[in-house]
Chains A and B, each alone.
Chain A
Amino acid sequence: MGHFIIRRLVSSILALLLIITFTFILVHMVPGGPFASEKQLPDSVMRNLEEKFHLNDPLWLQYVKYLGQVVKGDLGPSYKYENRTVNEFIRHGFPVSATLGALAVAIALVVGITLGIIAALRQNRWQDYLAMVIATIGFSAPSFIVASLLMFLFAYKIKIFPTAMWGTPAHAVLPSLALATLPTAFISRLIRANMIEVLQQDYIKTARSKGLSERVIIYKHALKNAILPVVTYLGPLIASIFTGSFVIEKIFAIPGIGRDFVIAITNRDYGLILGLTIFYAVFLMAMNLIVDLSYSLIDPRIKLTRGEG
């Protein structure tokens, strides 16, 4: 296991370097720049700005300097929000996005797994159909529609929740529900499909014939095996949902980093784009590593370290 983790770390650092390089090239390839504006700036002003942010250095030098900075844990300044650093953006925004994400993942797991189990156990009966119709509507409706609807119904028509902004637990209800819709639907479908498959396996039949209670069979034997695809899905899900959703954060005026990311790209805020990309990549890799490790916890037969013999 230790060997596996070390090898993983090395390959992840290499991958990170590639991500930084690709993104660096990409941000400098797309047209525009952090100081582009509808009102054209005089040349001298533009030169001063480029001087200040070292944008007139050759690209390779900017790249090397940037890497040197990143190694020290400093993601540099934002180019558009001149007096703020990328680290500040993450420090302020990430806890907010992560809180919302955690709530949404919790909702998705509880509701999704419950719906999935009910549907699988009552396969092709009305409970199944109902659960799956709910799930289908859940993922047919993208988050911006769900968010707008929730706000319209529960903040505008029936005023039980605040419209937007962040601060009290009541502020978190509508956005986390909106954020949870899609993963809930996805998880319930995955659980249903896999449960049906698992319930046909021989060891479940054996357990049944041994006279074990249905409860034990479902939770101890079936669910444990049916959950594997959900765990796989959780890695990227947590990585993306914890780093914020642009749409939800915009609609509910939540000061997370999901919104920053998109705004950074439209602003061509090179520092912020790169910094947030690195942050996201590290987070994603860590989550995937945890997922892979948990495979062998759930299913001891899975061995990650052995190659194909």
Chain B
Amino acid sequence: MTTQPEIKKPSPKDFETDQEVRWCPGCGDYAILKAVQMALVNSGSKPENTVFVSGIGCSSRFPYYVSTYGFHTIHGRAPGFATGIKLVNPDLDVWLVTGDGDGLSIGGNHMLHALRRNVDLQIMLFNNEIYGLTKGQYSPTSRPGLKTPSTPLGSVDAPLSPCVFALGAGARFVARGIDTSIKELSSTLLRAREHKGASFVEIFQNCIVYNDKVFEEFTGKKRAKDTQLHLRHGEKMIFGKEVTKGLRFNPQKIALEVVTVGENAITEDDILVHDEQNRHLAFMLCELEPPEFPAICGVIYCHPAESYDQSVHDQIDQAKQAGKADFNALLRTGRTWVVT
């Protein structure tokens, strides 16, 4: 008689660490952590081949809570570390965790270059429109007029749209998720992982202490169906409780507009079909903002090209094949002479 070894079914718990999670109770980060752990399981990720790299901020504590390799680095610079890791070992699956302050303020420059180079990374930008860890100052995505300790009369800064920034930087994968839709977010992250090259995922994340309910107008449970549009490639961009609202292209204005099927002679044929390889459409979608428009979620743009790390190693491999790596001969290149 033999005993069959029990085959353990992979579970998100496999990616939990023994570390006590130190985010505020009710923080959106908990849900995102869960979504990431689900994506790791569903993608068949191996903990030993996975690395989480972060900068500084609330979101950047993330690596301590995933049972993979992790590197909690310095403020804004995670893309540099991640690039070095990926260049030395392209087989590693590298995730980058950052926030609106870390990734777009102090680290905006590095984010720009990681995206344009197309380093094979999954970049998750937790956008809560506030500095949490330093106790509530406004961030580069905060809305004008926001009163914070450093803007007692209200912020006069124009905010930045992370997804527009990413597209402008040349990102080949741009997506968006919400902390309140774990399943949807998890499948978006799965797509991000499958994508070779830099995948940029903006995640709306509620900061319960310093900027609570800032996304309430489209994340509130009762409103969500009417205020969120979840994109699917090749399908009509339609939403709403009755599934009758949709996006139509207005050629006179060169813009998207919300229409309702059945009103003003609008039919389903008028609704645009999502094409995630169309960069012009991606820009237009990223520009849409609630409340006039629904919050656009899911994969907005996905148009792969060879990744930076791949190109770097292709050149090295070619050089290795072409040239003989003889170190002593290297020291003797150029003019030499012999003294006897």
Do A and B interact? no
Chain A positions near chain B (C-beta within 8 angstroms): none
